[in-house]
Amino acid sequence: MKSDCVQATTCQERKKDPIEMFHSGQLVKVCAPMVRYSKLSFRTLVRKYDCDLCYTPMIVAADFVRSSKARDSEFTTNQGDCPLIVQFAANDARLLSDAARIVCPYANGIDINCGCPQRWALAEGYGACLINKPELVRDMVKQVRNQVENPRFSVSIKIRIHDDLTRTVDLCRKAEATGVSWITVHGRTIEERHQPVHYEAIKIIKESMSIPIVANGDIRSLKEAENVWHITGTDGVMVARGLLANPAMFAGYEETPLKCIWDWVDIALELGTPYMCFHQHLMYMMEKITSRQEKRIFNALSSTSAVLDYLTDHYGIDQTF
């Protein structure tokens, strides 16, 4: 785990508490947990473009607790990286609470992944299978609450919905009674991937709860985010792929502006972002502004210097580092 001498009080005094943000009546714009992608450098970029709250990629709590190597590779932060939620994959209350205690000084809260539908996660007892284990979710939330002394440290969950929505409402009510701070709802079932998002289901869940609810699923622009916010009556919206394609989305840009690309280059090089990650993000960002031929050339580049030369030659992005 790497940080630049961050203290919990520093983070939580400089920025609004996420729970306060959700009760503000304003749309809270959230960057989703994305494996490999929602790391420090990308979080730094989207914060420059009106993102209010960021999540880390999903981290397996057991590995994080047991391995210092895992902690150093999976969780990096700095003083400007807040408000921040660390998302864990977990199926053991003690290990999750141990992980929460480790990150508590460096983050505003933790989130339990109860929505990942990938086979490996389900096989390990992580992710979306937890929506069918409300007692285990309750135990994990309680254990974190008991072990983390900071009362402002949030404990949230991110879920998918059941075919029978009454089961989802029941899960959410049990989580609320246990002390969950807020719930993010991805409006699809475990089996659904590219089917339309069930925003009406998210609305029903919101109407059944007192704690904040965040809507998630297929939001690609600020206009869509505001529309989903109004349709569902939720307290915020969480975006994944829409931000990958356009990190300036929350600031109202329809496609990635050149300044945002330049900002990414600056941030990535300053923070020492590995080349594969640096290049992959640029491929996502430039999807809409490059021709098929340009994509073929750009995607084949294999070094930072080659990328910088390409950007300078084609888009006038030129900076001395």
**Binding site, residues?**
33-35, 87, 186, 240-241
Q: Please tell me the distance from the alpha carbon of residue 196 to that of residue 73, in angstroms, as a whole number.
A: 35
Radius of gyration of the chain (CA): 19
Could you tell me how many residues make up the chain? Answer: 321
CB atoms within 10 A of CB 146: 11
Q: Determine whether 11 is an active site residue.
A: no
How far is Cα of residue 304 from the mean position of the Cα atoms in its chain?
26
DSSP symbols for 162-203: -SSHHHHHHHHHHHHHHT---EEEESS-SS-SSSPP-HHHHH
How far is Cα of residue 238 from the mean position of the Cα atoms in its chain?
7
CB crowding 87-110: b at 16 or more within 10 Å, else e: bbbbbbbebbbbbbbbbbebbbbb
Q: Please tell me the distance from the alpha carbon of residue 215 to that of residue 227, in angstroms, as a whole number.
A: 11
From the list 11, 54, 116, 129, the catalytic residue is 116
Q: What angle do CA 86, 203, 191 make, to 5 degrees?
A: 65
Which residues partner with 215 through β-bridges?
185, 237
Closest of 155, 47, 172 to residue 107, by C-alpha = 155
Give residues with Cβ within 8 angstroms of 154, minimum separation 6. 18, 19, 85, 108, 109, 110, 181, 182
Binding site listing for FMN: 33-35, 87, 186, 240-241
Residue 265 three-state SS:
helix
Q: Please tell me the distance from the alpha carbon of residue 89 to that of residue 50, in angstroms, as a whole number.
A: 28
Residues recognised as catalytic: 116
